[in-house]
Structure 1
């Protein structure tokens, strides 16, 4: 979906990507949040400020106004008349000038295939805001920007690594079989203590469990959520 000049989102409404996988939701708490299949990818940080209108202005600026028309937040993209906001199939929300050049973006582009895979193979990495989900789409493991690794079900979080606030760097399914979280400076944060099991992989299952399996099919770690 595209927000053209002088169009608005009202509280509780959203603009959705053509593939329906990504949604920019103007929440009733005043926060503008971009959601992917596994949870939030970006937000304006304006929750609690009150909701009035989210307007793609004619001058090219995307602006949030409060319930009394007071300024709350903007993309600082004025002086670009005719620009539009596009919610893309790749997970990015972008403001484009009329000539097609980008002005502003949430910078949440998802790697090809990442949202469809339910397996984190040996040697694979999740970077912040990325995740994997079950084949049935009901369960997702999301590596959040606060450093927490969270397993979500249809009704909310089921399990987490308890590492929020530690900073996010990388979540790696190491070749030795250990799932490890590293901070922004490559410092160790958390692991599943499953090393010495080379070639293991992490699987997000349709039954609501996240399981690390050895190559012979035996499990070495499970969230134990179902």
Structure 2
């Protein structure tokens, strides 16, 4: 799911998304290929070049080298030290800087998921613009607004927001990796809760006015801290 700094794929290795639907394979023919359920979605167009290693360098660059360490291809993302590559459940492969902004992406899929019901956003579920999830007592609502802002409302007005108003709205998704992410209409990263690497987590809007992301074991990874 994640290629950390200074880790590598060797010929025949595959990095797979948490939901098992997408795989990034470094093939023996020298090509780096992203596969989805219906076949290839993206490739580095390096087939026919001798395979050596695909490495996520410490400088943030994803690089293919041949067997004699010769340069073959790169993501042109050097000068982003500490970045990591993630193959997401939406089919997008993204290199994220340490602060969570995207340095590079394959731009291969529009985030999608299941509808939201009740007071929980389950893993893989989405809010579309103007959708809201409400606490069981009906006093609090988390709305993904058409102005691009994710806002928590209480009886007396707004309590918390993602401070993303003015950014074009696309989708708010509770990813299978545990990250709550806002994407724009062209799949561009807008905001996230920085809670990836917690697969199976879910978001709950509680009756006390707090919005919390819980791991499957019941521990919290993120909270709005509004109550």
TM-score (norm 1): 0.49
TM-score (norm 2): 0.49
